Chains A and B, each alone.
Chain A
Amino acid sequence: VLVARMAAGDDRALGELYDRHAATAYALALAIVGERADAEEVVADAFGQMWRTSAQFDPARGSVPAWLATITRTRALDLLRARGRRARAIERAAAVGDAGFATPLAGGGDAPDRGVERAEARRLVTRSLAELPEPQRRVLELAYFGGLTQSEIAAALREPLGTVKTRMRAGLEKLRASLAPLLSEGR
């Protein structure tokens, strides 16, 4: 509904969408680009792109948060490439040990928050990810937060490409089961 309003030129709809999802988008951007100013730029670009392309959004093909996550991630990875920082990101990604990308930082308290709903989602996703077998979690994180391609991951881990693909699917399938409560909500 918000997206339809955006497509119709209602910029308050954009504001609402921003209130609802910006913190998540910002966190995602920051996890990828590693610097706050860059993360902010990514988020601003991502919402700008949503605004411009809202008419093409097709709810049948996915939810709004998934759409925003895709745009944000793409923008963040573009920015890394544009700044020539991708090599470093790959190095960093490959060097990440068991801790992974999604380990809560000490003292990282809650941002002034819009309701329990998102905190709940955050907790469930973090826990589900932590419960995956380490090799599966690793490939998901390298791809999603590290921005590595499947071949780069295979090289970084010195594993056959087929193994990487299998782990990706197995990991996502497990997450799909444990995150079912979030997935059925729609929106």
Chain B
Amino acid sequence: MTDHAWLDAAAPYALGALTAEERAAFEAHLADCAVCRADVQALGEVSGLLAHAAEAATPPPARGERPHRARLPEDALPQRPAARTFLTHSVSLP
């Protein structure tokens, strides 16, 4: 596997650092390559954890600014047009 050229792309891919074209090319390769798929999955789990580092750096949202739990299901219902319309009137659920 030492000269598997594509392995180079796995880390940038896992970090979302490929351009759209690079990503498309790599994903086409992923479809045929179990080695790269496994690699990408493993690295993706790691990069996913980086989100926690953001949390440490973020002051907690002030009360009332915290994304409101109650409004989500309504926002998310598939029949709803778009989140955008909804966001103009913040908390609206009973």
Tell whether A172 pairs with B46 under 8 Å between CB atoms, given A28-B55, A108-B58. yes
User: Does B33 interact with chain A (Cβ within 8 Å)?
Assistant: no
User: Does A160 interact with chain B (Cβ within 8 Å)?
Assistant: no
A: contact size bracket: 35 or more
Tally A-B pairs: CB < 8 A: 205
What 0/1 readout, one digit per residue, does chain A (124-138) give for beta carbons within 8 Å of chain B?
A: 111001000000000
In the complex, the answer to whether B11 meets A172 with C-beta atoms within 8 Å is yes
Bound: A26/B52 CA distance, A: 10
In the complex, the answer to whether B76 meets A48 with C-beta atoms within 8 Å is yes
Could you name 23 residue pairs across A and B whose Cβ atoms are closer than 8 Å?
Answer: A14-B72, A22-B69, A24-B51, A30-B58, A36-B65, A45-B83, A48-B83, A65-B51, A102-B56, A103-B57, A108-B60, A121-B52, A122-B55, A124-B52, A126-B57, A129-B53, A144-B47, A149-B12, A149-B19, A150-B12, A151-B19, A172-B11, A172-B15
From residue B78, how far is it (CB to closest CB) to chain A in Å? Answer: 6
What 0/1 readout, one digit per residue, does chain B (68-94) give for beta carbons within 8 Å of chain A?
A: 010111011110000100110000000
Tell whether A27 pairs with B55 under 8 Å between CB atoms, given A47-B72, A149-B19, A172-B43. yes
In the complex, the answer to whether A165 meets B11 with C-beta atoms within 8 Å is yes
In the complex, the answer to whether B49 meets A179 with C-beta atoms within 8 Å is yes
- Chain A positions near chain B (C-beta within 8 angstroms): 11-12, 14-15, 18-19, 22-28, 30-32, 36, 40-41, 43-45, 47-48, 50-52, 61-63, 65-67, 69-70, 72-74, 77, 101-105, 107-112, 118, 121-126, 129, 140, 143-145, 147-151, 153, 164-165, 168-169, 171-172, 175-176, 179, 182-183
Tell whether A15 pairs with B73 under 8 Å between CB atoms, given A41-B83, A175-B49, A176-B46. yes
Residues of chain B with a CB closer than 8 A to A23's CB: 55
From residue A116, how far is it (CB to closest CB) to chain B in Å? Answer: 13
In the complex, the answer to whether A69 meets B55 with C-beta atoms within 8 Å is no
User: Does B35 interact with chain A (Cβ within 8 Å)?
Assistant: no
User: Does B24 interact with chain A (Cβ within 8 Å)?
Assistant: no
From residue A127, how far is it (CB to closest CB) to chain B in Å? Answer: 9
Q: Give the residue name and chain of the A residue nearest to B58 (CB).
A: A27
